[in-house]
Structure 1
Amino acid sequence: MPDSVDRILAQWATVRPNLDVSAMGILGRLSRLTRLLERAQSDVFDAHGLHAGEFDILATLLRTDAGPRGLTAGALSDSAMVTSGAITNRLDRLVAKGLISREIDPENRRTVRVALTAAGAEVIEGALVAHVENEERLLSSMAPSDRKQLANLLSGLLSAHESSDGQTN
């Protein structure tokens, strides 16, 4: 079944038949899917009173099993799927919501430690379950073997661009 990018590719084939726009098809689909999937994920985060970046910070604290001591702001930045520049504003919002604590490390006064509060742990547990269910729903049209193949292909592409960009997170 044709998708919205097929129409664009057909138009290019008509006006520029000698131009190979196959890369445009792949990147156009990735871009369109990113917008659609982020919107669907945002609906789940909104239902839990979170933005995507806030979810990622809470999920990072949960998945790294940071415990009551939490993570340093630097370790959180390294482990999160957001840029370090975006961390401070998100931390401020999460502190204001009572979902995390941000404390000076008593062992090193130059270090700030970030930890989930009890309320934060409750919110992220509920949001995480809903998020995973939503992701499964979003990929339900794909057979398991296709999902595995797509994951491998995207991993290879991401790895190539992260290594050329110097990013590792």
Structure 2
Amino acid sequence: MDREDAIDVLLRQWQQSPYELPLAAMAVAKRITRVARNLEQRYAEALAEFGLDPGEFDVLATLLRSGPPHELAPATLNRSLLISSGGLTKRLTRLEKRGFVSRRLDPDDRRSLLAALTDQGLAVTAKAVIVHAQAGTGLVDPFSEADQAQLVSFLRKLLLHQES
């Protein structure tokens, strides 16, 4: 057996309890949660130099990857970010106050606004996206390229099952 991690200890404790728990599923879920928390911490630390939190970065990165003119309707942002319209509005307001995004009426739908990266937002996001990506490096270093491909395949299958 490889070295034990904190989840092995937790599972062993549950094994000795009087409860009948789905320990195989728990082993996967707890490890995914732990890896995600560790990764989110790395991202938060990396983004701190830009004064951004991960949620704000997600908005900016979504606008950046949409391509020029780096402008999207809030409904499109909501679908991409999987957050509520209220949560998005709060993020956009904070980013607008800092000069990273601007909002204007959608000429095709006067009831809706479009959110766009400003020149300042584009400059910050272009730097932040590189630092953010670098913060995730090393995550899969313990795996060979073949194992990485298999891990990606397993995680995709899991995500598709979850979201279907």
* Alignment partner of 2:9 out of 2, 7, 11: 7
How far is the alpha carbon of 1:109 from its aligned partner? 1.7
Separation of aligned partners in 2, 1:82 and 1:130: 24
* Alignment partner of 1:41 out of 35, 43, 67: 43
Matches within 5 A, 1:79-158: 79-158=80-159
Question: In the alignment, what sits opposite 2:74?
Answer: 73
How far is the alpha carbon of 1:20 from its aligned partner? 4.8
User: Normalization by structure 2: what TM-score?
Assistant: 0.89
* Alignment partner of 1:26 out of 25, 28, 35: 28
1:128–1:15: structure 2 CA closer, same or farther, 3 Å change rule?
same
How far is the alpha carbon of 1:85 from its aligned partner? 3.5
Separation of aligned partners in 1, 2:20 and 2:56: 46
Question: In the alignment, what sits opposite 2:65?
Answer: 63
Over the residues paired in the alignment, what is the CA RMSD in angstroms? 1.9
Instruction: Please give the per-residue CA displacement for 1:10-30, whole angstroms capped at 9, x wherever unaligned.
Output: 222233597551111111111
Secondary structure in structure 1 of the residue aligned to 2:92: helix
User: Normalization by structure 1: what TM-score?
Assistant: 0.87
Secondary structure in structure 1 of the residue aligned to 2:16: helix
Secondary structure in structure 2 of the residue aligned to 1:136: coil
Separation of aligned partners in 1, 2:21 and 2:113: 54
Separation of aligned partners in 2, 1:151 and 1:16: 36
Q: Figure out how many residues of one structure are paired with residues of the other and give that number.
A: 162
Preserved CA contact (<8 Å) 1:56 1:82: no
Separation of aligned partners in 2, 1:113 and 1:62: 14
Separation of aligned partners in 2, 1:157 and 1:76: 24
In the alignment, residue 27 of structure 1 is paired with which amino acid? A
5+ long unaligned stretches in structure 1: 164-169
5+ long unaligned stretches in structure 2: none
